[in-house]
Amino acid sequence: MKNAAWLLLAVSVLNLQCGYRLSGRGRNLPPAAQTIAIPDFKNQTSRQAVEQFITFAVRDEFIKRSRLRLADSDITADLVLEGKITAFETTPISYSEAGAANLYEVRLTLDVRLIDMKTSELYYQGSGMTFREIYETDSADFFSQETGSLVKIAAKFASSIVASILENF
């Protein structure tokens, strides 16, 4: 019993000394920042509502992964994440024997920047970030499959951009 107590004490002391921290929680963000505003991304493409998928996914990812609270507006926020969708393309990449496209690639290109509203400093900038998703479909199911791919791309983008910001890459 005495050995177990010493072992527990030794492990506890070593654990305090290792400096282990969970990554991706925002330790690299400005220390005073407590809120972030994420206005709707600007859509510079012809694909309607793409900005809604992206904005929702990014907000959701920040809520799940960071210590920041969402602010109601840019004016009250410590940080503002602005984004724009610069390209949305759906390209057939495979065809059936009948000549109909049955495999598509959806490609989304975005720009983002994170601004510290107290200092007006540009904290993070990412330009021309491209995300892809491939999906299989028949012509009758094209739009629902494209939308499903867009949801997946939005989640990938949100995860990637939030990780980059929180881990300061």
Confidence of residue 160 (pLDDT cuts 50, 70, 90): very high
Lowest-confidence region among 36-40, 54-58, 112-116, 150-154: 150-154
Lowest-confidence region among 39-48, 53-62, 85-94: 85-94
Confidence of residue 98 (pLDDT cuts 50, 70, 90): confident
Residue at 134: amino acid letter: I
pLDDT of 142 reads: 60
Confidence of residue 136 (pLDDT cuts 50, 70, 90): confident
Residue 22 lies in a domain: no
Top mean pLDDT of 5-19, 52-66, 132-146 is at 52-66
Q: Which one is predicted more confidently, 145 or 42?
A: 42
Comparing CA positions, the residue from 112, 155, 111, 117 lying closest to residue 29 is 117
Token output for 121:
């400093």
Residue 1 lies in a domain: no
How open is the CA angle 79-84-88, to the nearest 5 degrees? Answer: 150
CATH number of residue 98's parent domain: 3.30.160.150
Residue 20 lies in a domain: no
Residue 9 lies in a domain: no
Residue 70 lies in a domain: yes
Comparing CA positions, the residue from 30, 27, 51 lying closest to residue 111 is 51
List the domain range (segments joined by +) for residue 139.
29-167
Comparing CA positions, the residue from 155, 140, 139 lying closest to residue 92 is 139
139, pLDDT greater than 70: no
153, pLDDT greater than 60: yes
89, pLDDT greater than 60: yes
Residue 126 lies in a domain: yes
Comparing CA positions, the residue from 159, 139, 165, 167 lying closest to residue 54 is 159
How many C-beta atoms surround the C-beta of residue 26 within 10 A?
19
| Domain count for the chain | 1
Residue 16 lies in a domain: no
Residue 55 lies in a domain: yes
Instruction: Report the sign of the C-alpha dihedral through residues 69, 71, 74, 75, in that order.
Output: negative
Can you give the pTM of this predicted structure? 0.78
